[in-house]
Amino acid sequence: MTLRLRHPQIFSASWLPVVLSVVLVLLIAGAAPVRAEIRVTDLAGREVVLDQPARKIVLGEGRHLAVLGMLHDDPVSLLAGWRQDKGLDPATYDAYLAKFPALAEVAPVGAGNRLLSVESTIALMPDLVLLSLMDARDPQMQMPLRQLEAAGIPVAFVDFFTAPLENTLPSLRLIGQLTGAEDRAEEFAEFYTDHLEGVMATLKAAQPAPPRVFIHVHAAPTNCCATVGPGVFDEFVEAAGGYNIGRDSVPGVMGNVGLENLLASDPDVYLATGGAHMKARGGLVLGAGIDAETAAQSFADLLDTPGFADLRAVQEGQAIGIWHLFNDFPAHIALIEALAKRFHPDLFPDLDPMATMAEFEERFSPVEMTGSYWLPAE
């Protein structure tokens, strides 16, 4: 029996390329769904558009590698370059380098005074430049930003520093969207919100009188005393149920108060910030890689200094030391708990900020963060 086609003309050779093209398109569409472009609004109110999640990123602040590390198991694989101003502290850098040796090959694109080398940045052909909100407000950055825009390189502004309680989660979610890590960003947002709301709900219910707190930043025995007004550490103190008396004398983010004025202000709590960078100045040494004995001795030496030793807060045991680099890192949620427990011990007998820090390290850091982050440690 012979099979006859009723309409053999539709299978003529001229149709064959068309049929094959349609089949190929359908196969490709079924095997690899096209991801829609990423369109977000950054912390400066600018629209940022990417064709796909960023995989070659230039960081405007080196310390924000630790923020990328909260969202990606290998953040260094996403890093094309970084400005070395405001870099990682030495111990954290060494921990990242040990786990991710490729960090040694990451190209520098600028150093001190917040300078950004546009030529070096463009040469890397990044698909995203992440800058701080401070850069958006910096007049010297306007020309570099225009040059990056002309080169077609997307720039997004984030903020973990100027208004940390307001901007930390939006910034982290923004980076999550731009790098395809939305789920990890939401996981941290839930962790952060649960801990912060726990502290704030207790304070709201009890309405305790806030202790008057003097914040001595980069604390050292000499050149007293750099302090802060609104923003940054001020927000941490307020969230923990305290009042930063620097608000009364410092109109901007930072300023200075003389020792005599500090003594006259008679704060209820003396709060000093420090880090590994303060070792050379004989100041408060705290942070990643700093053992408890070194931290405690540096704090004791600071408090024994004439003038500081005369403060009522010091004499009554109301002196606290904290790691300065909490000022640009979402782990500050553990610091807020530590301050709340110290400001209002009767309200937070079961609060365990050390456990919060340990959970942060386990869930949101690809490297160990062992160190001393506040004193007294309990």
What are the tens digits of pLDDT across the range 262-302? 999 999 999 999 999 999 999 999 999 999 999 999 999 99
> Can you tell me the mean pLDDT for 141-168?
94
pLDDT score of 99 more than 70: yes
Whether the CB-CB separation of 50 and 78 falls below 8 Å is answered with no
In this prediction, residues 363-369 reach a mean pLDDT of 94
- Residue 66 scores a pLDDT above 90: yes
* Residue matched to tokens 């440690």: 377
Give yes or no on whether 38-181 and 190-375 have one common fold: yes
Nearest Cα to Cα of residue 200 among 170, 165, 233: 165
pLDDT of residue 112: 61
Overall average pLDDT of the 37-59 stretch:
96
Is 332 a residue whose pLDDT tops 90? Answer: yes
Integer CA distances (angstroms), 142 to 13, 51, 135, 139, 329, in order: 61, 25, 9, 6, 26
Domain ranges of the chain: 38-181, 190-375
- Residue 329's CB: how many other CB atoms inside 10 A? 21
Q: Which of 35-49, 153-167, 185-199 has the lowest mean pLDDT?
A: 35-49
Does 33 score more than 90 pLDDT?
A: no
**Chain segment 234-258, per-residue pLDDT in tens:** 999 999 999 999 998 887 778 899 9
- Among 33-47, 83-97, 167-181, which range has the highest average pLDDT? 167-181
* Token duo for residue 154: 């997307």
Beta bridge pairs of residue 107 = 81
Question: 30 pLDDT band (50/70/90 cuts)?
Answer: very low
Return left, alpha or beta for 290; rule: phi > 0 is left, psi -120 to 50 is alpha, else beta: beta
- Look at residue 82 and give its three-state secondary structure: strand
Please give the mean pLDDT across all residues of the chain: 89
Residue 85 pLDDT grade (very low, low, confident, very high; cuts 50, 70, 90)? confident
Domain 190-375 has CATH 3.40.50.1980: yes
Q: Sorting pLDDT into bands at 50, 70 and 90, what band is 369?
A: confident
Which DSSP state fits 349?
T
Just give the CATH number of 38-181: 3.40.50.1980
- Is residue 58 within 8 Å of residue 109, measured between CB atoms? yes
pLDDT on residue 194: 98
Q: What is the pLDDT of residue 57?
A: 98
